Chains A and B, each alone.
Chain A
Amino acid sequence: MSQSRFQRWFDLKGWSALLIGAPYIWLLVWFLLPFLIVVAMSVATNTPTAPPFSFGGEHPWVNWEPFSRVLTDGLYLRAFLTSVVNAFVAMIFCLLLGYPMALGLTRVSTNWRNILLMLVILPFWTSFLLRVYAWMGLMGKNSWFNGLLTDSWNFLVPMSWAMKSVPMMHTNFAVVLVMVYTYLPFMILPLYASLERLDPTLDEAAMDLGSRPYQVFWDVTLPQSIPGIVAGGMLVFIPAAGELVIPSLVGNAAQPMIGKIIQDEFGQARDWPMASAVAVALLILMVIPTMIYSHYQAKAERLK
């Protein structure tokens, strides 16, 4: 068997270089480089040129002003707070609703489980925008759903509190509700994956040693599903905190979330350095929970 030097080189080195190189270079060029430009832009100066930023002028090289505005201007701080609170509340509700659902999925028969799992995954494949839109239809003043809520409210409370309709659209409540709706599968699936892996004989062992089912849950099931809770929590919190579509459609325009602020600074105000500084601050905010998450994952890996 004779082979050319090129063939030898290709088999030993070239092939793996191609395999690694193509996606690597792609991500460097189309992801890392644009991102670094944004990071650089966050310390540039806003100018009325096109593109609307430059280095130099009255702030040579580094201009910390956008960052100091992020930390001091109430507009940005309020937006950050709104984002974090909305995302956190949505995450908690996703957990409260998703945990029993995921646990329930592990308890039903295999046939039912396959059907129900498909029903959980199905919304993933349907348009995100349309899922948000579906709630707009329900929450509007004249909708049957709002009517139902209004009637039950008026039935339950004294006359003086009666309402013509429940104000849902354009509130933070609506933002959280739609976030829970769209991100619930992100909570259920990792929880289900971690609960499904648990050995059912551990439950039996705990029961055999004298624990009632609810004690089994606290002692055995819950502690072992913490990695799943953390994973699900991160998968909900991170995209929810940076969400743009949901607050624009159903949120309160007077209480914008941080995604909207970035968009406005970039588009309407044409202050690219400011938009970049807010973006970098948002990223730093997200890196913290991600670090916690990877810490837990590494711990879980070590346990195996």
Chain B
Amino acid sequence: MSAPDVEPFLRIEGVSKSFGTFQAVKNVNLSVSKGEIFALLGGSGCGKTTLLRMLAGFEEPTSGQIFLDGRDMANVPPWQRPVHMMFQSYALFPHMTVAANVGYGLKHEKSLSKEGRAARVAEMLDLVQLTQFAHRKPHQISGGQRQRVALARALARQPKLLLLDEPLAALDKKLREHTQFELMSIQERTGVTFIVVTHDQEEAMTLSDRIAVMDKGEVKQIGSPTEIYEFPQSKFVAGFIGSVNSFEARVISRDKGHLRLDVPALGGEILARDVAGAAEGQKVSLAVRPEKMRITKDRPDTPNAVAGHVKDLAYFGKDSLYRVILPGGLVQAHAVNARRGDEGAFMADWDDEVWVSFDPSSAIVLVD
């Protein structure tokens, strides 16, 4: 899924935010279309939360504009924005019941009768399967249930945009996986546009249609999870999403859609996919994901193959991580463990002499 070519639902234009001399967000441009799940991904202090708070109206941009459904959001206070937020801490009102929490925003809907309000609350509680907890206080329910109350409360007024600040961070691993799918199905049923802030790349990849990777207040790359993972445009993005083997390299020549590189760490010439902006003689970085590395006993029939020996291996069951010493350094390779007895199955062991190889199409050249 990618953004259609119509006027986007949410448009962020050249938005910057400074706190004193500190620039938290630098010239961010983003478009999000209706019904999308869009993730802002980055480490702590990258500006993703500040950007989210500007969307909610808690912070005003120092410069730039935010348009939601064609309307300029400047000087619209938080209580008048059709934007609701699910807070990282959930921010449930401790002195109100679950039902009162969910219904809180609805009391500002003057057109809604008392019965209409109760019906909407019931509908929302049903959506998150909390009907039987309606009269409990927030401290009487579990963390996962609180998360669902927060979601129901934010959705009750049918916002145009739902902001989710680290929605899964406070849940334990098992619950997180389950909740992830539930969030996606609720989004599908309600059709509300979601903006998710997260530092967890896996969460961003599985939840969202598109991701903006942020670092030091800047958006580094925007794209679908596949684009971000397979075709990172910078060393930062390659390193932030998944793990990567990264090498210094120099472009020898450029031909037939391929780049010929000199990579001292891999002991010689490597063939890689062509990228825009690479010129002969230029210094670049070569990045190869561990799972794109193949480990074989004999030399494979591909251009990019280097001999080495296994220094370390970590066995995870369904796969294993190898650390292989090559003439010019150490690489990591992630291999799915074959079924025992399969033809040609090879499971390297400590100190085995092996060949490490990868396809030219898996070799990412980063110009920055």
Contacts and interface: CB of A to CB of B under 8 A. Distances in A.
A210 B84 CA distance: 9
B94 interface: yes
A202 B91 contact: yes
A207 interface: yes
B58 interface: yes
Nearest to A226: B95
Interface SS, A side = helix
15 contacts: A199-B91, A201-B87, A201-B89, A206-B93, A206-B104, A207-B57, A207-B77, A208-B83, A208-B85, A208-B154, A209-B79, A209-B104, A209-B154, A211-B108, A303-B137
Contacts, number: 66
Given A206-B104, A209-B153, A210-B105, A223 B79 contact: no
B121 interface: no
A224 B92 CA distance: 12
Contacts of B91: 199, 201-202, 204-205
A202 B277 CA distance: 49
Interface of A: 199, 201-202, 204-212, 219-220, 223-224, 303-304
B157 interface: yes
Contact of B94 (A204, A219, A303): A303
Contacts of B77: 207, 212
A296 to B, nearest CB: 13
Contact of A204 (B78, B108, B157): B78
B87 A205 contact: yes
Contacts of A304: 139
Interface residues of B, number: 27
Given A204-B78, A204-B87, A303-B139, A210 B108 contact: yes
Contacts of A202: 91, 93-94
Contacts of B108: 209-211
A220 B154 CA distance: 17
Contacts of B95: 223-224
A220 B107 CA distance: 14
* List of 6 A-B pairs having minimum Cβ-Cβ separation, nearest first: A209-B105, A210-B108, A205-B91, A201-B91, A207-B78, A223-B95
B56 interface: yes
